[in-house]
Structure 1
Amino acid sequence: MTPVSVYDEKPWLARYPEGQPGSITCEHPDMVALFRATVARHGDRDALRYFDGRITYRELDVLSDALAAGLLADGFTAGERVAIFVQNDPQYVIALLGTWKAGGIAVNVNPMNRERELRLILTDSGASVLVTLEGLYRDVAAAVVGDTAVRTVLTTSELDHQTRRDLRILADVERIGAAAGTVDLGALLERFRGQRPPTVSPAPDDTAVLTYTSGTTGPPKGAMNTHANLVFSAHTYRGFCGLGPDDVVLGVAPLFHITGLVAGVAVAMLLGAPLVLFHRFEPAAVVDLVRAERPTFTVGSITVFIALMNAPNADPDALRSLTRIWSGGAPIPPSTVTAFQELYGQTIHNVYGLTETTSPSHCTPRDADPPVDETSGALSVGVPVYDTIVRIVDENGRELPPGEVGEIVTTGPQVVKGYWNKPEETAAALPDGTLHTGDVGYMDADGWFYVVDRKKDQINAGGYKVWPREVEDVLYEHPAVREAAVVGVPDPYRGETVKAFVSLRPGTSATEEELIAFAKDRMAAYKYPRQVEFLDDIPKTASGKLLRRELKVRTQ
Structure 2
Amino acid sequence: MNSQPWLTNYPPMIPAQLDYPKIALTEFLTQAAKQYPDHRAIQFLGKIITYRELLSDAQHFAGALQQKGIQKGDRVAIMLPNCPQAVISYYGILMLGAVVVQVNPLYKERELAHQLGDSGAKFIVCLDLLYPIVKKTQVQTSLQHVIVTGIQDYLPFPKSWVFPVIQRLKGKIKKIEPDDFSFKNLLVSASPCVSPASIDPSEDLALLQYTGGTTGVAKGVMLTHRNLVANVIQCRAWFYKAEQGKENFLAVIPFFHVYGMTVAMNLSICFAGCLITLPRFEIPSILKTIQKQKPTVFPGAPTMYIALLQHPELSNYDISSIEACLSGSAALPLEIQEKFEQVTGGRLVEGYGLTECSPVTHANPLWDQRKNGSIGLPWPDTDAKVVDLESGEALPPGGVGELIVKGPQVMKGYWNEPDETEAVLRDGWLYTGDLAYMDEDGFFFIVDRKKDLIIASGFNIYPREVEEVLFEHPAIAEAAVVGVADDYRGETVKAFLVLKEGETVSEEQLDQFCRKRLAAFKVPKQYEFRAELPKSSIGKVLKKLLIEG
**Pair 297,356 (structure 1): closer, same or farther in 2 beyond 3 Å:** same
Worse-superposed segment, 307-316 or 40-49: 307-316
Work out whether residues 348 and 366 of structure 2, in 8 Å CA contact, stay in contact via their aligned partners in 1: no
Q: Does 2:547 match 1:548?
A: no
Work out whether residues 233 and 358 of structure 1, in 8 Å CA contact, stay in contact via their aligned partners in 2: yes
Work out whether residues 105 and 207 of structure 1, in 8 Å CA contact, stay in contact via their aligned partners in 2: yes
CA distance in 1, matches of 2:82, 2:164: 13
Q: Does 2:86 match 1:88?
A: no
CA distance in 2, matches of 1:109, 1:17: 39
Query: Structure 1, residues 382-424: CA drift from partner, whole Å, max 9, x if none?
Result: 1000011100001121100001111110001111111111111
Residue of structure 2 in register with 1:375 after alignment: none
Deviation of 1:508 (Å): 1.2
Residue of structure 1 in register with 2:460 after alignment: 465
Q: Does 2:130 match 1:133?
A: no
Q: Any stretches of 5+ residues in structure 1 without a counterpart? A: 373-378
RMSD of Structure 2 on Structure 1 (CA): 2.0
Structural mapping, 1:151-550, within 5 Å: 151-163=144-156, 165=159, 173-174=167-168, 176=173, 178-180=175-177, 181-192=179-190, 194-205=191-202, 206-242=204-240, 243-245=242-244, 246-315=246-315, 318-372=318-372, 379-395=373-389, 396-550=391-545
Q: Does 2:32 match 1:59?
A: no
Query: Structure 1, residues 188-237: CA drift from partner, whole Å, max 9, x if none?
Result: 11111x53354323211211111111145431111111111111111122
Deviation of 1:66 (Å): 1.2
CA distance in 1, matches of 2:24, 2:418: 25
Secondary structure, counterpart of 2:481 in structure 1:
strand
CA distance in 1, matches of 2:50, 2:300: 25
Q: Any stretches of 5+ residues in structure 2 without a counterpart? A: none
> What percentage of aligned pairs have identical amino acids?
37
Query: Structure 1, residues 22-58: CA drift from partner, whole Å, max 9, x if none?
Result: 2012345221222222221112111111011111111
Deviation of 1:344 (Å): 3.4
Worse-superposed segment, 513-522 or 460-469: 513-522
Residue of structure 2 in register with 1:29 after alignment: 23
Deviation of 1:346 (Å): 3.4
CA distance in 1, matches of 2:9, 2:194: 40
CA distance in 1, matches of 2:533, 2:130: 37
**Pair 333,426 (structure 1): closer, same or farther in 2 beyond 3 Å:** same
Worse-superposed segment, 157-166 or 29-38: 157-166
Deviation of 1:249 (Å): 1.0
Task: Count how many residue pairs are aligned between Structure 1 and Structure 2.
Answer: 538
Which letter maps to 2:154?
Answer: H
Secondary structure, counterpart of 2:206 in structure 1:
strand
Q: Does 2:107 match 1:107?
A: no
Work out whether residues 320 and 343 of structure 2, in 8 Å CA contact, stay in contact via their aligned partners in 1: no
Which letter maps to 1:323?
Answer: E
Query: Structure 1, residues 230-287: CA drift from partner, whole Å, max 9, x if none?
Result: 1111112211122222111111211011111001111111111111111111111111
Work out whether residues 362 and 375 of structure 2, in 8 Å CA contact, stay in contact via their aligned partners in 1: yes
CA distance in 1, matches of 2:226, 2:256: 18
Secondary structure, counterpart of 1:159 in structure 2:
helix
Worse-superposed segment, 154-163 or 435-444: 154-163
**Pair 474,88 (structure 1): closer, same or farther in 2 beyond 3 Å:** same
CA distance in 1, matches of 2:213, 2:283: 29
Deviation of 1:176 (Å): 2.4
Query: Structure 1, residues 500-543: CA drift from partner, whole Å, max 9, x if none?
Result: 00111112100122212221221112111000000111222233
* TM-score when normalising by structure 2: 0.94
CA distance in 1, matches of 2:320, 2:103: 33
Residue of structure 2 in register with 1:376 after alignment: none
Secondary structure, counterpart of 1:34 in structure 2:
helix
* TM-score when normalising by structure 1: 0.93
Deviation of 1:367 (Å): 1.2
